[in-house]
Amino acid sequence: MQQSSAGVSYFWHLPANASAHGLALDNHLKLNLWIAFSLLALLHVLLMVGLIARRRAIRPVHKLTLEYIPLIAFTALFGTLAFQAQRLWALERYTGADPGAMQVEVTGMQFAWYFRYPGADGTFGNTSLSLIAPGEGNPVGLDPKDSYGRDDIVSSQLVLPADHEVDLALRAVDVIHGFAIPELRLKQNAVPGQAVHVHFTPTAPGTYAILCTQVCGSGHYRMQATLRVLSQAEFDAWLSAEERKAHDAAVGAGR
Amino acid sequence: MKMQPTRAKPEHSRITHHRTVGFGYLAISLSAVAAGTVLSLAMRLHLAWPGWSLPLHGPILPEEYLALVTMHGTLMLFFVLTVAPQNGFGNLILPAQIGASRMAFPRLNLLSMAVTAVALFVLFSAFIVPGGAPISGWTAYPPLSTSSLAGPGQGWGMDAWLASIALFSIGSTLAAVNTLTTIVKLRCDGMTWERLPLTVWSWFTAALLSVIAFSVLLAALLLLFCDRHLGTAFFLPHTEWMNGVLRQHGGDGSPLLWLHLFWFFGHPEVYIAILPGMGLTSMVIANFARRRVFAYRLMIATTLLIGLLGIVVWGHHMFVAGLNPFAGSAFALSSMAIAIPATAEVLSWLAMVWRSRPQLTTAMVFALGFVSLFVAGGLTGPILAQPVLDEYLHNTFFVVGHFHLIMAMAGVFGLFCATYYWFPLMFGRALSERIGKVHFWGTIVFAYSTFLPMHFTGLAGEPRHYAQLTGIPGPTGTLLAATMPLQRHITVSALCLGLAQLPFLLNLLLSVLRPVRTTKNLWNATTMEWAPKTDKLPAAYRGPCHYSQDGNEFAPQWEEPSSTADGGA
C-alpha cells in the first residue's frame, strides 16, 4: 500500500532503513499505523455523530448487523495483518543464517558492547568468563592457550560489509542486554548463559547507532556502540589491517 | 448451599465493615498515585531538561532516574491500578450491587487491606535504605535483580521491593478469594448470574485472574529471594561475570524462566487493572443513554473471554527475549485474538451511544473518555502483537505510549468515572458537575498531548529507561537528540496534565466545605446499589438497565413488578 516515500517516513518519524529485510517491515508497519490511525478517527467520528444526532428510539436491530458483521470484518482485517506479519517473521527468523554468512560474536557487559571476528582461520577461539579483564585488553575473556583465538579480532565497533549476510551470536556476561540497531530494524536480547543468533543483511553503507534496549543498570543509557557499514573493498582493507594488529598483539604478548 | 444475606445478621465492628476497608484501599491508592505522579514529573523534567536540579536534592543521577522509573511503575501498577478499581470500589459498591450487606469474609477483608498498606510502607522504605530504591524497573529482570553488584539500589532497595510485592501478592490473593466468594455466595434473592451488572462480572473476572496471577508471582518472588540470598540459581546461569566479580552458582538456570513467570502474572495483571473500568463504562453509558447494554450476554462472554485469553498471551512480552521463533508465532496468534472480544465491547458501547442523546454528566463524559482512550491505546496492541513489528518497537517509547493510553489513562478515567458516579453513595453528597467538566476536558486534552507523541519518539528509536538523551556520543547521540523537541512538548503536557487535576481537588474540597447533600438515586440508576434503604431483605426482580423507549421511565432491579409491568430479564 504505502510505498516508502520520504514524506510518510517523516510523518511517522521512522529513521531511514538500511537493511535488506527492513523495507518490507517498514511497509507493513506503516500500513498498520495508517489502519490504526484511520480506525481511531472513525471511532471518534462515530462517537461525535452518535452524540450529536437527534435521539432515535431503539429499533429492534439484530445483533448480526451491529455486532457480528463488523466483528467478522475486523477479524478478517486483523487476520490478514497477522498473516503478513507471520510471513515476514518466518522469512527472517525461522531459518538460520546462510552457511556463507559472516560470523561475528557480540558480547554485552555493563555498559559496553564488544564485537569479535574469528580472524583468518574462520574459527572463534575459546573464551572463559574467568579470563575477562577489560582493563587488560581482554574484555571478552579470550583463552590465550587456544590457538584458534590468536587471530581473533575484538573491536568496540561493529564493522560490516554492505550486501553481505551477517550471523551475529549474542552473548551477555552479567545481566540481560538488548542489542538493537534501529536503522537496521533489528532487536534481540542477549541473555547470560546462552548464545542467541540473529542474521540480517545491511544494505546501505553508513554509520548507525547500536543501542542497549533492555534496562541493564545505571549506565544503560550510555551503553551504545557504532555500526559502520562499508563497501566490500573498504571492509576487506579494514579486516586485513585488524588481522595484522591482532597478530602483532598476539606475538607481542607471547601468545 | 447459599448463605443467607440478612440485615438481621449481627453487624461486624465498624473497622471490618466493607466500606471502611474500601475507603482504606482508596486511601492507599491516593497516596500511591500522589507519589507516583510526582516521581513521573521529576522523570519528565529530567529527560527534557537534563540540567534541571530537583529542589532540596540536586541534579538527578542516572541511577536515581532508574529508581524513579521503577518506583513510579510499581506504585502505579500495583498500588493504584490494581488496588483502587478492584478492591477500593469493589468493597464500596460490590456488596450493595449484588444485594448483600457485607463481604463474605469481613476480617479477612480487613487483613488483606492491612497487608496491602504494610506493603506500601515497605515499598516507600526502599527510598531511605542504603543504596536507595531499586533500578531494575517494575519487571525486575534477573540477573540485574539478583545481586547488589549489578548496581546501586539492587541491594537493600531490591529486598524492600521484593518484600513489598510479596506482601502485596498475599493481600491481593486474599482479597480476590473474598471477592469471588462474595459474588458466588452472597447474591440476594433473584440476583441470577445473568442479572449481575457488568461491573460485577468484571470484578469477578479480575478476581479470578488475581488468584491465578498473584499466586504465580508470589512463587516467582520466593525463587528470586532464594537466588539473592540462598545461593540457588533458578534465574541465573552457572557462571556470571558481574562488575569485575566472577560469580558461580550451584545450579544452572536461566533468566528466561523469570520472564515467563513474571509475564504469566504481568499480562493478566494489566487486565485486572482495566476490566473493572470496562464493566463500569458499559453500565454508565447504558445508564445515561437510557438504553439496555447492547448484546448483554455477549458482553458477559467477552469479559470472561478477555480474562481467559489474558492468561495465554504472556509471550508477546518476550518476542525478542531469546525464545524459539515458533513460540513468537503462537503468542502472536493468541494476542491478536484478544482484539476480537475487545472490538465486540467497543461495538456495544458505540451502539449504545449511537443517536441516544445521552445525558452528558461528568461520569458519562469520563466513560466516553474511557472509550476514546481504550481504543486509542488498544489499536496499537495488535501492532505490538506482531513479532516482526515488535522487533522494531519493543522497549521503545511506542510501547510506553501504548500502555499509558490503554492502561494508565483509560484506567484512571475509569476511576474518575467511578468517583463522580458513586460519590453520592460514598459520601452522601454530589460533586459539582460544572467543575467536573473542566476537570474532564483538561485531563483528556493533556492525556493525549502527553502520550500520543511518545509513539513518535518511539518510532524514531527512543528506548525506554534511558536516563539521558543528550550528551551521548556517536550516531546514538544523533538519533536520541532528534527527539528532544518532542521530549519538551511531552514534559510540558505532563505538567499540564498534573495541573488539570486541580479542579478535581477543588471539587473534593468544595464537597467538604459546601456540601450538596443527596441520598436519593441521583442518576436514575437501575442497579441495586442505588436501592433506598428499607427493612425488607433486598431482592432483584430483573436485570439492570430497563428503560422505557423515551428513557424517561425506568424499572430498577429492586422494584417489585406491578401486575402490568414487564417481568424483567
d(CA B327, CA B316): 9
- Which chain B residues are within 8 Å of A33, Cβ to Cβ? 383
Cα torsion angle, A248, A249, A252, A255, sign: negative
- Whether residue A161 lies inside any domain: the answer is yes
- Whether residue A1 lies inside any domain: the answer is no
d(CA B301, CA B285): 19
Residues 6+ apart with CB under 8 A from B388: A25, A28, A85, A88, A89, A92
Nearest to B475 among A94, A180, A209 (CB): A209
The runs of H, that is alpha helices, within chain A are 6-12, 22-52, 63, 69-89, 232-252
Nearest to A40 among B291, B326, B375 (CB): B375
Interface of A with B in 232-251 (CB under 8 A): none
Interface of A with B in 136-165 (CB under 8 A): 141
CB-side exposure of A219: number of CA atoms within 13 Å? 13
Contact flag B347-A192 (C-beta cutoff 8 Å) = no
Same domain? A119 vs A199? yes
Contact flag A217-B135 (C-beta cutoff 8 Å) = yes
**Residue A214: closest C-alpha in chain B:** B395
d(CA A209, CA A225): 6
Highest mean pLDDT among A9-23, B358-372, B550-564: B358-372
CB-based contact, A38 to chain B, within 8 Å: no
Same domain? A37 vs A139? no
Pick the range with the lowest mean pLDDT from A7-16, B198-207, B209-218, B308-317.
Answer: A7-16
Nearest to A218 among B151, B388, B463 (CB): B151
pLDDT band, residue A249 (cuts 50/70/90): confident
- Whether residue A115 lies inside any domain: the answer is yes
d(CA B218, CA B216): 5
Domain that holds residue B189: 22-240+247-530
d(CA B285, CA B359): 9
Contact flag B391-A178 (C-beta cutoff 8 Å) = no
Same domain? A90 vs A13? yes
Domain that holds residue A33: 6-94
Same domain? A156 vs A198? yes
d(CA B257, CA A96): 24
Same domain? A245 vs A162? yes
Nearest to B340 among A28, A74, A221 (CB): A74
- Answer yes or no: are the C-beta atoms of B258 and B318 closer than 8 Å: no
- How near does any CA of chain B get to the CA of A124, in Å? 20
3-state DSSP call for residue B307? helix
- Whether residue A216 lies inside any domain: the answer is yes
Same domain? A115 vs A226? yes
Chosen for mutation from B68, B309, B349, B355 (greatest number of chain A CBs closer than 10 Å) is B355
- Whether residue B79 lies inside any domain: the answer is yes
Contact flag B389-A47 (C-beta cutoff 8 Å) = no
- Whether residue B12 lies inside any domain: the answer is no
Which of the listed residues A78, A94, A110 is the one where a domain comes to its end?
Answer: A94
Query: A166-172 and A102-109: which strand pairing?
Result: parallel
Give me the pLDDT at residue A54, please.
Answer: 84
Same domain? A57 vs A176? no
- Answer yes or no: are the C-beta atoms of B211 and B177 closer than 8 Å: yes
| Prediction ipTM score | 0.95
pTM score above 0.90: yes
Domain count, chain A: 2
Nearest to A94 among B62, B325, B356 (CB): B325
Interface of A with B in 87-126 (CB under 8 A): 88-90, 92-94, 109-110
- Which chain A residues are within 8 Å of B347, Cβ to Cβ? 66-67, 70-71
Q: Output b/e per residue, A137-168; b: 16+ Cβ within 10 A.
A: ebbbbbbeebebbbbbbbbeebbbbbebbbbb
- Give me the CATH number covering residue B390: 1.20.210.10
Same domain? A143 vs A116? yes
Which of the listed residues A67, A94, A121 is the one where a domain comes to its end?
Answer: A94
The stretch B169-187 carries a mean pLDDT of: 98
Same domain? A55 vs A179? no
Nearest to B460 among A13, A25, A187 (CB): A13
d(CA B168, CA B180): 18
Closest CA to B383 of B300, B461, B467, B455: B455
- Whether residue B7 lies inside any domain: the answer is no
- How near does any CA of chain B get to the CA of A35, in Å? 9
Give me the pLDDT at residue A6, please.
Answer: 41
- Whether residue B560 lies inside any domain: the answer is no
The stretch B456-468 carries a mean pLDDT of: 96
- Whether residue A26 lies inside any domain: the answer is yes
CB-based contact, A205 to chain B, within 8 Å: no
Contact flag A25-B389 (C-beta cutoff 8 Å) = yes
- Give me the CATH number covering residue A117: 2.60.40.420
The stretch B444-467 carries a mean pLDDT of: 97
- Answer yes or no: are the C-beta atoms of B309 and B341 closer than 8 Å: yes
Contact flag A222-B468 (C-beta cutoff 8 Å) = yes
Closest CA to B240 of A143, A129, A128: A129
- Whether residue B83 lies inside any domain: the answer is yes
Domain count, chain B: 1
pLDDT band, residue B562 (cuts 50/70/90): confident
- Which chain B residues are within 8 Å of A198, Cβ to Cβ? none
Per residue in B125-135, pLDDT (tens digit) is 999 999 999 99
- How near does any CA of chain B get to the CA of A63, in Å? 7
- Whether residue A153 lies inside any domain: the answer is yes
Nearest to B388 among A43, A85, A220 (CB): A85
Which of the listed residues A94, A123, A147 is the one where a domain comes to its end?
Answer: A94
Same domain? A82 vs A117? no
Q: Is the pLDDT assigned to residue A1 strictly greater than 80?
A: no
pLDDT band, residue A153 (cuts 50/70/90): very high
CB atoms within 10 A of CB B266: 18
Per residue in B72-123, pLDDT (tens digit) is 999 999 999 999 999 999 999 999 999 999 999 999 999 999 999 999 999 9
- Which chain B residues are within 8 Å of A80, Cβ to Cβ? none
pLDDT band, residue A116 (cuts 50/70/90): very high
- Whether residue A21 lies inside any domain: the answer is yes
Same domain? A81 vs A173? no
**Residue A196: closest C-alpha in chain B:** B322
- How near does any CA of chain B get to the CA of A173, in Å? 5
Contact flag A209-B141 (C-beta cutoff 8 Å) = no
